[in-house]
Amino acid sequence: MNAPGTNIQETALALVADGKGILAADESNGTMDKRLEPVLDDPPNEDARRAWRELLFTTEGAGTHISGAILYDETIRQSTADGTLFPELLARQGIIPGIKVDTGAKPLAGSPEEKVTEGLDGLRDRIAEYHELGARFAKWRAVIAIVDELPSRNCIDVNAHALARYAALCQEGGLVPIVEPEVLTAGSHTLERSEEVTALTLRSVFSALADQGVALEAMLLKPNMVLAGSDCPEQASVEDVASRTLRCLGRVVPAAVPGIVFLSGGQSDEAATAHLRAMNQIGGQPWELSFSFGRALQATPLATWRGQEANAASAQAGYLQLAKSNGAARAGRFSPDNEREPVAVS
Ligand code: 13P
């Protein structure tokens, strides 16, 4: 295994510092437009995407609960309306800028129902450029769907191999890799099946990371929580999700990994926070248990904002509240003002 560079190891630890977690604001243009469309009067465009990110990144006090923000290629090059580049704005608040470097999940040759994430070609040079632009960590997301007898072994292994190639390149280029193998919640599978597929996937990922010499001390794992499929009639309790998820991770994830930063995966913000809180209440794990949420931090404030300047302050208050609640969940606690403030929307 490669010796981790001190800097990237320190960055990995800073990203999972007590009481803080990561904002995933790295939606591709297509995905961001899909989120903006239902709330805006006009069709979304580059400036609407920029304005939404500016609202998030200028939220005062967010740096108390947010350690890092993952950006998309377009976003890392954008600025506030008054001309401050986003990476600089974030860094001033003590929020570490990160960057999504995969180029998306594409149909897997020979098994087109499944996907393999692309983006390795030219990645060494892109990492160097992103580092220059201020990024200090990166993200690559693999998606594994559960449908009948799928995923195939091949789908799991090719995605694991690509995740490890990406992680090794990031560490070489001075970025902390967030390794994200997401087993999707969509479908009618049971909690048991989710645990089984998550374990198989993580075993393959850690085997590939070891084969390719990735320093575990200088990376973060971003997995799904173990949840029953969203269409499964039998949904698990918060306690069951927490204990299954920790059992699954405990069997597979080496203690050398400094932190696990969960994705929210389409859960409501309340559910994602409750699960994170319950896991931290169980405690006794070798890794920090934190968050790297997209929708669970953004969906509610986005619905408040609706593209209207008059709603910006309420939307920022909503985002800050969610960041605070998840920060408190890291210690197994409720935020003291956990009850959502009623927000005035014009
Ligand atoms: P969600 O929390 O909305 O799942 O997004 C996290 C993420 O970064 C997915 O890649």
pLDDT tens for 220-247 read 999 999 999 999 999 999 999 999 999 9
Q: Is the CB of 167 under 6 A from ligand 1?
A: no
What spacing in Å lies between the alpha carbon of 255 and ligand 1's midpoint?
A: 24
| Contact (CB, 8 A) for 239 and 192 | no
The per-residue pLDDT for 275 is: 98
pLDDT grade for 346, boundaries at 50, 70 and 90: very low
The per-residue pLDDT for 5 is: 62
| Percent of the chain clearing pLDDT 70 (strictly above) | 96
The per-residue pLDDT for 342 is: 37
Q: Is the CB of 143 under 6 A from ligand 1?
A: no
What spacing in Å lies between the alpha carbon of 109 and ligand 1's midpoint?
A: 25
Q: What 3-state DSSP class applies to 116?
A: strand
Report which ligand 1 atom has the smallest distance to the Cα of 24.
8
Report which ligand 1 atom has the smallest distance to the Cα of 70.
8
pLDDT at residue 81 greater than cutoff 90? yes
Pocket test for ligand 1, best of 144, 295, 298, 319 (most atoms within 8 A of CB): 295
pLDDT grade for 4, boundaries at 50, 70 and 90: low
What spacing in Å lies between the alpha carbon of 72 and ligand 1's midpoint?
A: 13
What spacing in Å lies between the alpha carbon of 142 and ligand 1's midpoint?
A: 11
Q: Is the CB of 24 under 6 A from ligand 1?
A: yes
Q: Is the CB of 294 under 6 A from ligand 1?
A: yes
- Write out pLDDT tens, residues 112-147: 999 999 999 999 999 999 999 999 999 999 999 999
- Write out pLDDT tens, residues 264-306: 999 999 999 999 999 999 999 999 999 999 999 999 999 999 9
Any idea which residues carry the catalytic annotation? 180, 222
Report which ligand 1 atom has the smallest distance to the Cα of 263.
2
CA 128 to chain centre: 22
Given its phi and psi angles, is residue 235 left (phi above 0), alpha (psi -120 to 50 degrees) or beta? beta
- For 12, half-sphere exposure in the C-beta direction (CA atoms, 13 angstrom radius) is 32
pLDDT at residue 345 greater than cutoff 90? no
What spacing in Å lies between the alpha carbon of 154 and ligand 1's midpoint?
A: 24
pLDDT at residue 53 greater than cutoff 90? yes
pLDDT at residue 219 greater than cutoff 90? yes
How high does pLDDT run on average in the chain? 96
Q: Is the CB of 264 under 6 A from ligand 1?
A: yes
Rounded to whole angstroms, the Cα distance separating 65 from 243 reads 25
What spacing in Å lies between the alpha carbon of 276 and ligand 1's midpoint?
A: 15
Q: What 3-state DSSP class applies to 175?
A: coil
Pocket test for ligand 1, best of 293, 297, 302 (most atoms within 8 A of CB): 293
Report which ligand 1 atom has the smallest distance to the Cα of 293.
2
153-172 vs 123-132: helix crossing angle, rounded to 10:
50
Q: What mean pLDDT is predicted for residues 35-39?
A: 98
What spacing in Å lies between the alpha carbon of 2 and ligand 1's midpoint?
A: 29
Report which ligand 1 atom has the smallest distance to the Cα of 265.
4
Q: Is the CB of 263 under 6 A from ligand 1?
A: yes
Task: Say what the alpha-carbon torsion angle 254, 260, 266, 268 is, to the nearest 10 degrees.
Answer: 130
Rounded to whole angstroms, the Cα distance separating 295 from 27 reads 10
| Contact (CB, 8 A) for 49 and 75 | yes
Atom 9 of ligand 1: nearest residue by CA position: 263
Atom 4 of ligand 1: nearest residue by CA position: 265
Atom 5 of ligand 1: nearest residue by CA position: 294
DSSP state of 300: H
pLDDT grade for 168, boundaries at 50, 70 and 90: very high
| Start-end of H helices in the chain | 6-15, 29-36, 46-57, 73-76, 86-92, 123-132, 153-172, 191-211, 238-252, 269-282, 295-305, 312-329
The per-residue pLDDT for 211 is: 98
